[in-house]
A = this chain, B = another copy of it.
Amino acid sequence: MRAKVWLVGAGPGDPELLTLKAVRALREAQVVMIDDLVNPAVLEHCPAAQVIAVGKRGGCRSTPQAFIQRLMLRHARQGRCVVRLKGGDPCIFGRGGEEALWLQEQGIEVELVNGITAGLAGATQCGIPLTLRGVSRGVTLVTAHTQDDSPLNWVGLAQGGTTLVVYMGVARLEEIRQGLLAAGMAATTPVAMIENASLPSQRECRSQLQRMGTDAAAFALRSPAVLVIGEVAGGVASAVLDPVVAQASA
């Protein structure tokens, strides 16, 4: 065990979606810094470590980013093995790239460990394949909440032909709806709004682009939630299966 900072994806919530590498990092850790969106159940893999909660939910900066970074640096410089646990994957809306660069510039060894991102896990748990031959050629993950509040390029997103997964969008449903409608996306495009992806408390609200705001209000949708927008969110009908798949029982 040498001084090092692991930036580890703890996955979407289900503790079984942790990777073996994340478990190894936790076992080696002397200090574990845990984000708000991480399921504390994963701490069973590091019973002897010092655990520090560094939650920082969107908008509410209870633990400032600069403080978290200095804390990681201080512990690493004292020769400790530090694990920073982030919800999902550290490099998908997780600031892992920035933190890794900054730590490396301070001379600290850094290792990143991928995790299952919430949009993927939530969709899978709802039976939604993010890609589907003949229906969706790919998937786009975007965040509705940004540093400078610059608008997303809705036209590009609507026309790319991929399933759209929006993170941190609960407070911006109307903006998303208007942006995609104005960009030419069909009003009846299926939408799945998934709260607490992969946890026992997961809830899903199926809707359509044109009425997703009112449906979400009636459903009392709350953060954290992901939105899956595209034909795949309408259910996979047998009709879309290609002949080879459909004929397998023939």
- Interface residue total, chain A, C-beta cutoff 8 A: 81
Find chain B residues with CB under 8 A from A148 CB.
134
How far does the alpha carbon of A177 sit from the alpha carbon of B146 in the complex, in Å?
30
Q: Which residue of B lies closest to A42 (CB)?
A: B20
Contact string against B for A residues 88-105, beta-carbon threshold 8 Å, 1 for contact and 0 otherwise: 011111011111111001
A67–B47 alpha-carbon span in the complex (Å): 47
Partner among B70, B128, B133 whose Cβ is within 8 Å of the Cβ of A95: B133
* Residues of chain A from 160 to 214 with CB closer than 8 A to chain B in the complex: 160-162
- Which residues of the other chain, B, contact A248 by a CB distance below 8 angstroms? 65-67, 69-70, 73, 102
Closest CB pairs A-B (n = 5): A97-B129, A138-B142, A156-B160, A156-B159, A69-B248
Binding site for B on A (CB under 8 A): 11, 14-21, 23-24, 64-67, 69-70, 73, 89-93, 95-102, 105-106, 112, 114-116, 120-121, 123-124, 127-134, 137-143, 146-148, 152-153, 155-162, 232, 236, 238, 241-242, 244-250
